[in-house]
Amino acid sequence: MATVHFYEKPGCLNNTRQKQLLSAAGHLLVIYDLLQHPWANDPAKLRSFFGDKPVSDWFNRSAPAVKQGLIDPDALDEQQAIELMVAQPLLIRRPLMEADNRRVSGFDEAEVDAWLGLKSPPTGKDLESCPRQSHAEACKP
């Protein structure tokens, strides 16, 4: 069992499902509001969640600015990406998780299972793409 610091968007259906999987496996969750967290005070901490992933993988592809073509994650460098995410936290791929001296972004069930352990084997379900994509309320702050 681990203590998992879990940065979420309150009300996000997938974050709720992800937290349920972690809790069912016996992990203690410390929940943070990703949208209200003061990332501007420590942008290096935000950067640390992305490890060696390509910059484009740091982004929430369901964020309105990305979906509308206002921001192209494939055209940004690290500094530009972090500056945009600090200004618009909806752009951050979530959840951000920290446990056992490791930080990650996104929720790949197999990766989380190998890292922390989940009660049941990975389902292969997409636990990151917003199930509300066709609705107007998708990914609103």
Q: In order of start, what are the domains of the chain with their CATH numbers? A: 3-115 (3.40.30.10)
pLDDT for the residue numbered 119: 84
The answer to pTM > 0.95 is no
Nearest Cα neighbor of 36 from 58, 9, 59, 60 is: 9
pLDDT for the residue numbered 135: 46
**Edge-to-edge strands of the sheet including 3-8?**
28-33, 3-8, 96-99, 102-105
Residue 77 makes CB contacts below 8 A (sequence gap 6+) with 55
Other CB atoms closer than 10 Å to residue 14's CB: what's the count?
21
Average pLDDT over residues 10-28: 94
Beta strand pairing call for 96-99 and 28-33? unpaired
Other CB atoms closer than 10 Å to residue 18's CB: what's the count?
24
pLDDT at 75 over 80: yes
pLDDT at 125 over 90: no
Q: If you search the block for the tokens 């069912």, which residue do you land on?
A: 24
Distance CA 8, CA 107 (A): 11
In whole numbers, what is the pLDDT of the chain averaged over residues?
90
Both structure tokens of 113: 């299972």
pLDDT for the residue numbered 11: 92
Q: If you search the block for the tokens 């992933």, which residue do you land on?
A: 53
pLDDT at 78 over 50: yes
Distance CA 94, CA 115 (A): 17
pLDDT for the residue numbered 129: 64
pLDDT for the residue numbered 140: 54
pLDDT at 136 over 50: no
139 is catalytic: no
Catalytic pick from 6, 7, 8, 12? 12
Nearest Cα neighbor of 38 from 88, 82, 86, 97 is: 86
Q: Which amino acid is at 5?
A: H
pLDDT tens-digit series, residues 34-52: 999 999 999 999 999 999 9
